[in-house]
Each structure stands twice: as structure tokens, then as C-alpha cells.
Structure 1
Amino acid sequence: MADPTFPEADLLEVMAGLHAKGLRELRTSQVAGAAGIAPWVARRLLAKLADDGKIQSRGKTKARVYWLPLTPLHSETNAVPDTRKETPSNTLSWSPASVALASYLAKPISQRDPVTYQREFVEGYVPNVSYLLGERTANSLYEEGAVRGQLPAGTYLRKVLNQLLVDLAWSSSNLEGNTISYLDTERLFALTSNISDAPAFPAGADAEHRILLINHKRAITFLADQVPDTGLSTYTVRNLHALLMEGLVTDVGQLGAIRRQIVSIGRSTYTPLSIPQVLEDMLALIIDKAGRIKNPVEAGFFLWVNIAYLQPFVDGNKRTSRLSANIPLMLYNCSPLSFMDVDVQDYNQAMQGVYERRDVSIAVDLFTWLYRRSITRYGTVTEAMGTYDPDTLVLRPYATAVLLAMVREGLPQEPAILHAAAPEQLAVKLREIVKKEIDGLSAFNCQRHGITPAEVEAWRRKQAGKRQ
């Protein structure tokens, strides 16, 4: 008779091996046969692993099937009830290397090797020669995600900014424990743009979660405004961290600052570096190398895994890495990466694989799936963009200046246009743009001009008063 004390870790390895052979949903008999144990022993062990959350299952009695958490049939975590299209990219497939890594990470911490930060992970990377994503995957994703044509940096992002603000802020915040729904996040963003004027909405929501979401909104807007001019720099990343963590750390001196404290990673054998000067030097090196990578998708992936791996800040490293991953995509007018529909456990395993093994297998599979979903999500906007009018692009900052003068300073349209000092030959075109923008200005689209919803509401009231 088989030993009823068959190790759980060994059974997880058996399941990983079956997954690697293409078997996703595993019956008790399959697991028992591969492990060389009696079906009743396998059934007892599988039930316990499922109860402990180490594996997933569905069905009852003899029809019950099991699989590792890394291989869900379709993740419903963080799903948004909206109009997104169902495409083949909805199916997240894991490579044998990912399954093997997940099997290692499923072992108890006591059976995994203690590790610390390894500088060669960054120092040994040669931009445009080395590829974390793999050269073929990186090039394929760039081809799929790029917007055709010679456009100023950040042009595509501006077109999808309103959608991205909610998508990325909500999905990234969910990975940090946010409990506010997607629809309530939309409503919250329409009501406020700063921590100081955040209403108690939605009722009963944790104030920290409201701050978490609003900080993301401000940080994404900062990137949209700054990146086209400043590019990728240490200044940008550190200011990004400051915006994300405002009101969430006790010491304001920690905002954007290289940490001087020791940090630990929960449920991991990884211990990050704790020497401030080395942290600062390595962050600078990561940003420098990312800036020299010609493929923006590879550059985004490089930033995502390396900022999280380094842990340069006292807190907020993963959310900073997620938003930083979008910087190269913005600069090259590629589809942004929103992290919508990511499963928290899958995400954490991707990070743990990098932390403990410097193995990006899970991260590559997850990133590839997520980015293709983002391309699909924002694809409808791409199709609607059509051919750009170069005059419209030139006049964009002038139109913003006019709207700010009208809404914030109360100037009439003509004085505001004269004050903007646009090229004289484009004055007629500017008037057309300003009229359309003013007619359509609302709390839901004002952020792209640096105008708050409260300012729009106040301006509308004044205009209504003048007509009475």
C-alpha cells in the first residue's frame, strides 16, 4: 500500500510535470498514476492542497479536476463587466519553464534557497544584444503594439488617456489590495483629482484605497505630461514614486528617495540590497540601459522586472515598476500596458521567480498575455485615430493654453487666443479646435488640459449666470 505521508511538494512537482506535457485539468487517477500512489492517497492530498489554496479545482466527487494556480482556465480575478472583446489572447498559456519555476516556488520556504540581490542581472545585460523577453517575442509585440506613422512622442497615449487613467490606476491598485470597484473608480475620478479634495466616496470605502487610486491617476497624468519632453530619466522615475506614495508613507522625506532602511519580501527567501549608494547606482544603471534599448516593449519589460527586483524605495516599488514600464511605450507611441485582468497570484509568482531565481519565465508569459490584451483593448481607439493633421498636433499646446485662460482666468475666447500667441497662419484652425474643445469640455475629459473637474463645474456655472 502506498505511503499516506507522500510529500505535498512532490505531488506539486508531479502536477507540474503533467502540465508541462499539455495536461491542464488533472483527474485524481492521472495524478495517482504519475506519482505511483494509491488513488485514495492522491484524493486526500489533492483535497488538502485545494483547501489550503495551493492548487485550484472544480467539480465534485469523481468528476473533480485539479490544476496548479499558475494554469487557470480563465482568470476572473479583477474582471470588469464592460464591452471588451473576447479574442484568442484571452487564453493564458504557460511554458514548461514557467511550470517548472512555479513548482519550485510552491515548495515551503524552508526548502527554497535564501538569496540576495545579484548585480550581474543588470550589469550583464547588453542593450539590443540581450533580451529578457526573447528577441522574437519582443519584436512581435512591438510590431503588434506600435502605431504607424511619424508622430510626436506621447501622441497615442493622449488619445487613450481617459481610458488608461481608470484601467491602469484600478488594476495596479488592485494588486496593492484596493477594494473599490472599477465603476466607482470612474465616478471617483470624475469627482476629484487631488488627495486634498477627495470626497468620502464611495461610502464605506477605505480612505487609504481612495488615496491609492487618486495617486495613480496623478502619476499617470504626470507621465503623459512630462515623458514626451523629459523622456526616461531618474528624475521621472523618482518623481513618479513620490506621486504614487504621497499620503501613504509617514515620512515625506521618503517620497522619491532612495531607501536607507532594510526591507523584506513577504513569503520569500529573497533579501534585497540595503546599501543606499549601491541602490542609487543600480537604479541609475537600470534606467540608463533601458533608455538605450531600441525595442520599447523590451525596454518596458526590463524596467518592470528590474525596478521591482532592486526595491530602491522603502515602499511602492512594484507600483512604480508597473507605471515605469509604460514610459518607453509612451515615447514610441505604442499601446500602453494597463495590467487589466491580471491574477494577483500569477503576478506575485512572476515577481517571486525574478526575486528568488532571476528567472523571468513566468514574467514573460504573463507580460506577453497582458500586453496583447492591452493592444486589443485600446485597438478600437487606434482604428479611430486615422491620419493625423500635423497642424492639429502643432496647435495642441496652444489650445490647452487657451482653455486654461478661459476656464481658470475667466478670459473670453478671443483675448485668450491672442494671449496664447499661436502662429498667425494657424489662427483660424486654432479657433476651430478651441470651439470644439470648449463645447465638449466636461469633468470626464478635462484632465488632458490640466483642468480639474471642480474648475470645469465652476466655469460652467459662471457661463450659465452670464446668459441669464
Structure 2
Amino acid sequence: MRGSATMHPVLRVPELQGLEKNIYETLVRRGGNGLSQAKIIQLLELAPSSQSSVSRALAKLGAAGLVEKSGTTRNASFGLTAEAKWFAVPGHLRPQVKYDPDRFRSYDPGVAPWLDPASHALMSESVGKGSLELDPSTYTREIAERFLIEMSWASSALEGNTYSLPETEALIKYAEVAGGKSEIEVQMILNHKQAIGWVIDNIATVEIAPETVMRLHAMLMRTLVRQNNLGAVRRDPVSVTTSSYVPSSDHTELSMGLSELCWKASIAKDPFEASFALLAGIAYLQPFIDGNKRTGRLLSNIPLLKAGLPPISFIGVGRAAYGIGMTTWYELADTSYLGKAIAEGYAITAPSYLVATTTKRVPRSVEIRMRRRLDDAVAEYLSGAVDSPDLMPSDFARDAFRDLEGEDLDVIVQSFADVIASINELNCVAYGVTPDLVEKYRRVRPGGGPTHVGP
């Protein structure tokens, strides 16, 4: 399923200039077949003295993975590489590649993952081993809103939407429609807003299941497809623009593929692999009449959010690299280029979400209700711990708040332990405690003492 995770040669074509560009275009017009250096010079109508310049240009094209040399030096010929030759032909003229159900049947996230090791390593390194875990149920309004706006814009942009990020923010926050934009573009962004908001609000209970995929599709494609197609596995054939890939048109096969993909992603132990499998799998399966890739993009965030990891907003995912990645996955069963495009985008945005959560925190309702009691408990514990150094904060808190039950008790015990672990002569005023008391406590417990919060 995987090849090299380096940049795909075709992505270098737009960067070609001068002689390199002319040679490449000449080889494309000749069907990518081998030409001698002398023939290239002749076709480009260059002077014989330009041989050294042509040699250097061919060497650069070879290093870029666009041209390969065959034969001996004197009889050498130069032609397009297999990758360059494949994409030198428009998608509708390339050999048809039909849907292969074995991609899902043989997929084993633990044994043969779709996300290549280099891309997985980059995503893991982006969050770090000791990074703060995100809890979507306690996202601050600013963080949740930021993800909603960024993904609404980036995902829509990958579909060709011309709204800018500031225009998207104005539309989502203030319902301000930018001038000169189509109604379809407006609806696309508003649909993203609804669907992303639903995922954030229901992340604690939402499951990776066909029903979830269908609900997301219905929200993302509202008014953009016929109502009977909203969240419905299609019965009609579809085509993939710019690709020779031919998805299945068998309703039963599509339904089975969707179920198998969701099941395998749900049992994947690695959240990065599960996320990527959903992204690539939905795009390949094409279970809906339209909106498949945007559904896969949002769906791919569920395993990450459930694992307490930063989401993929798709800001930083290059449109060209994303397109090439999808095409090589569709037509060549190679996921490495798509994985690289996703991982590089994630590496740009994930750290900033981690930074944001270290500076912003939303209180739980029990913390608000118990605010006064928490202050009193902190003062009482600090006073008592001076005389009883072995008293653990968690034990004290569970006894002090024994009238609470379940999650409320766990939350307040954790909050109490966090306060005790971080309290000092400056921040103690927030809890109505004097600096003198904190100083006495610190003399008894220089490191703050144990803060175990287990049962």
C-alpha cells in the first residue's frame, strides 16, 4: 500500500523553468518515450554547442524524479519516469482503475497500517510525548470556535471554495456574507459549521459507525444534494474528477465497505492510524453521491479528539499535494503521498492547539458550585498538613466532599489536588489563603507533597 514518502515528482513540475521545462514538455508530447540527447537538441532547435546545458538540465530532471536514463553513455536515451509518465496523461485518458473491495477486506490497522511510518512519526512528534491531553468536553469557547472556523475554511477551500479565512470567520461568527460569493459557497461553510459543532458537542458519546458517517454527510451536504441523498448510501454511479478511478456502483458493496471500514477503524489502537484510515477509506469508497472527501475529513477528527489529541483542521495541507495523494491512492493503491500531505499539515497546526490549551481552561459546573467550599477546604488542608505531613490531598478532598458522587466527586478531587500541587505565596490569594500559611506548608513539604488522585 505504500511507496516512498518523499515529494511526488509531479509536484515539482510547476517549479520547472527554462530549458528544464522545455525538455520535460517535449518528452510529454512524445508520450514520455526515450529520446537521445541529440534528438532533444534537434527538437528544441538548439545549437550543438548547447549539449552541456542540456546534460545539466537532464541531470536536474533526473534528480527530481521526472526523467530517467537508459542505455550506455553514447547510446543513452532519456524518458519520463513511471510516475511522471502516469500523470502526464489526463485522468480521463489513463487506464481505468476499478474499485477493489480487497483494500478493505485485507486492511489490518495493527499489522499493515495505511499511514506510513514517516508520516506517523511526524504526527506523533507534533504533539510530543509529554504534551497536555485535550479534553473536548472542556474546550474553551475560543479553542472550539477556532477549530470550527479553521476547518470550515480549509475543508471548503479544498473543494474549491473561494472564501478567505477572515471572510469565513465573519460568516460563522456574525453571519456576514462576503460580496461576490455564490450561495453554494456560503452554504458549504455553514454546513461545515453545523457538522463540526455537532462533533465537538457529542464527542464523548459519538461512535465510529456507519450511522455517524451518514449523519455527518447529511449535515455537510444539506441543500447541496437532493434530500433523498442526504446521509444515504448511493445507488447511482459517480466519477472522480481528474482521476481514472471508477468507484463501485453496487449499493450492497458500498454498504458493506462502509461497515467494514468503520469497524476496523474503531478497533484500531492507534488514533493516528484510525484517523487516516477514515480519511482515505471514505474517499476511496465514495459511498455518497457527493461530499465524500469532506465527510472523510471531518470523520477523521473523531479518533483524535476521543484520544485527547489536537484535531486536524486541514490548514497547512497543500491542495496540490492533497490531490496527488488522493490520486495515487485511488489509482496506484499508494497511501504514502496522501499520508505525507496530511502529516505535514498536522505538524503546522497541532502544536498551536496544545499551546492554546495550556493557557485556557473552562471550569466544570461542579467547580463553580463548590467554589466557596473549595477555598475553605484548601485553607483547612494546608493548616492540617503542617501538623500531618503524610496527609494526601486526594484523601482529604474525598472526605471533605463526601456528599458528592460519581464524576462530580472525581472532578472536584482532581481540581483540589491541582490547586495544592501548584499553590504558592503569590497565587494563594485566589483561594483566600495567606502567604504565611503557604510558606509554613512549603517548609513541611518543599515539593508540595503527594497529589495522588486515584480511588
Normalised by the length of structure 2, the TM-score is 0.63
Choose the corresponding residue for 1:171, options 154, 162, 180.
154
SS at match of 1:334: coil
Q: Which residue of 1 aligns with 2:37?
A: 37
Does structure 1 residue 266 correspond to structure 2 residue 249? Answer: no
In the alignment, the residues of structure 2 paired with residue 234 and residue 382 of structure 1 have an alpha-carbon distance, to the nearest angstrom, of 31
SS of residue matched to 2:203: helix
Query: CA-to-partner distance for each residue in 1:131-164, whole Å, 9 max, x for gaps?
Result: 1113464255235336746765655697621111
1:103, distance to aligned residue in structure 2 (A): 4.9
Q: Is residue 2:212 matched to residue 1:236?
A: yes
Aligned position for 2:403: none
Alpha-carbon distance, 1:376 to partner: 3.3
- Assess, with a 3 A threshold, how the Cα gap between structure 1 residues 336 and 102 changes in structure 2: closer, same or farther: farther
Distance (whole Å) between structure 2 residues aligned to residue 297 and residue 397 of structure 1: 35
2:144 aligned residue (152, 155, 161): 161
Residue of structure 2 equivalent to 1:352: 327
Contact 1:156 1:330 in 2 (8 A): no
Q: Alpha-carbon deviation of 1:384?
A: 2.2
Choose which of 96, 103, 108 in structure 2 pairs with 1:114. Answer: 96
- After TM superposition, the structure 1 = structure 2 runs for residues 196-345 of structure 1, keeping only pairs within 5 Å, are 201-249=177-225, 251-345=226-320
Query: Which residue of structure 2 lines up, in the alignment, with residue 134 of structure 1?
Result: 116
Change (3 A) 1:165 1:124: same
1:413 match: none
Letter in structure 1 aligned against 2:215: N
Q: Is the CA contact 1:180–1:205 (under 8 Å) kept in the aligned structure 2?
A: yes
Tell me, in whole angstroms, the C-alpha distance in 1 between the residues paired with 2:181 and 2:92: 38
Change (3 A) 1:150 1:184: closer
**Cα distance in 2, alignment partners of residues 18 and 282 from structure 1:** 31
SS of the counterpart of 1:229? coil
For residues 11 and 131 of structure 2, what CA distance do their matches in structure 1 show? 43
Matches of 2:149 and 2:353 in 1, distance apart? 13
Residues 369-408 of structure 1 aligned to structure 2 (within 5 Å):
369-385=344-360, 392-393=363-364, 395=366
- Aligned AA for 1:310? L
Structure 2 unaligned residues grouped into runs of 5+: 1-7, 25-33, 47-55, 66-80, 371-406, 416-455
For the pair 1:189 / 2:166, whether they are aligned, the reply is: no
Q: Tell me the secondary structure at the aligned position of residue 308 of structure 2.
A: coil
Task: Return the alpha-carbon distance in structure 1 between the equivalents of residues 357 and 267 of structure 2.
Answer: 27
1:333 Cα deviation (Å)? 1.1
Alignment equivalent of 1:28, drawn from 19, 26, 34 = 19
Could you give the per-residue CA deviations for residues 70-101 of structure 1, whole angstroms, max 9, x where no partner exists?
A: 99xxxxxxxxxxxxxxxxxxxxxxxxxxx964
AA aligned to 2:213 is V
**Inter-CA distance 151–259: structure 2 relative to 1 (3 Å threshold):** same
Aligned partner of residue 222 in structure 1, secondary structure: helix
Q: 1:123 aligns with which of 92, 101, 105?
A: 105
What is the SS of the residue equivalent to 2:202?
helix
Report the aligned-residue RMSD: 4.0
For each residue in 1:21-62, what CA deviation from the matched residue of structure 2 results, as whole angstroms up to 9, or x when unmatched? xxx8676269859964357568689xxxxxxxxxxxxxxxx9
8 A contact 1:32–1:42 mirrored in 2: no
Per-residue CA distance 1:275-328 (angstroms, 9 max, x = gap): 111111110110110111111111111111110000000100010011111111
- Could you tell me whether the CA contact under 8 Å between 2:316 and 2:346 is conserved in 1? no
Give, in whole Å, the separation in 2 of the partners of 1:261 and 1:303.
22
Contact 1:216 1:244 in 2 (8 A): yes
| Mapped partners of 1:221, 1:308: distance in 2 | 22
Report the alpha carbon displacement of residue 383 of structure 1 after superposing the two structures with TM: 3.6
Cα distance in 2 between the residues matched to 1:231 and 1:206: 34
Is the CA contact 2:161–2:185 (under 8 Å) kept in the aligned structure 1?
Answer: yes
Structure 2 counterpart SS, 1:315: coil
Q: Where does residue 180 of structure 1 map in the other structure?
A: 163
Q: In the TM superposition, what is the alpha-carbon distance from 1:127 to its structure 2 partner?
A: 2.5
Cα gap change, 1:325 to 1:234, in 2 (>3 Å): same
Q: In structure 2, do the counterparts of structure 1 residues 189 and 397 end up closer, same or farther at CA, with 3 Å as the change threshold?
A: farther
Greater CA drift, 150-159 or 360-369: 150-159
TM-superposed CA distance for 1:107, in Å, is: 2.7
Change (3 A) 1:359 1:166: same
- 1:412-431 to 2 correspondence within 5 Å? none
Displacement after TM superposition at 1:106 (Å) = 2.9
Distance 1:126 1:233 in 2: 17
Q: Is the 8 A contact 2:134 2:309 kept in 1?
A: no
Distance 1:100 1:148, change over 3 A: farther
The separation in 2 between residues aligned to 1:133 and 1:308, in whole angstroms, is 15
Number of equivalences: 331
The whole-number CA distance in structure 2 between the counterparts of 1:108 and 1:18 is 15
The one-letter code of the counterpart of 2:110 is: N
Asked if structure 1 preserves the Cα contact closer than 8 Å seen for 2:231 and 2:288, the reply is: yes
Moved more, 280-289 or 152-161: 152-161
Deviation digits for residues 178-213 of structure 1 (CA, Å, limit 9, x no counterpart): 112211111111124xxxxxx6x2123211111110
Structure 1 residues 262 and 27: alpha-carbon distance in aligned structure 2, compared to 1, 3 A threshold: same
Paired residues of 2:116 and 2:335 also in contact (CA < 8 A): no
TM-score of the aligned structures, taking structure 1 as reference length: 0.61
AA of the residue aligned to 1:278 = E
In our comparison, the structure showing a higher alpha carbon Rg is 2
Query: Is the 1:157–1:330 Cα contact (8 Å) retained in structure 2?
Result: no
Q: 1:226 to 1:103 in 2, by over 3 A?
A: farther
Given the superposition, is the C-alpha separation of residues 378 and 42 from structure 1 closer, same or farther in structure 2, using an over 3 Å criterion? farther
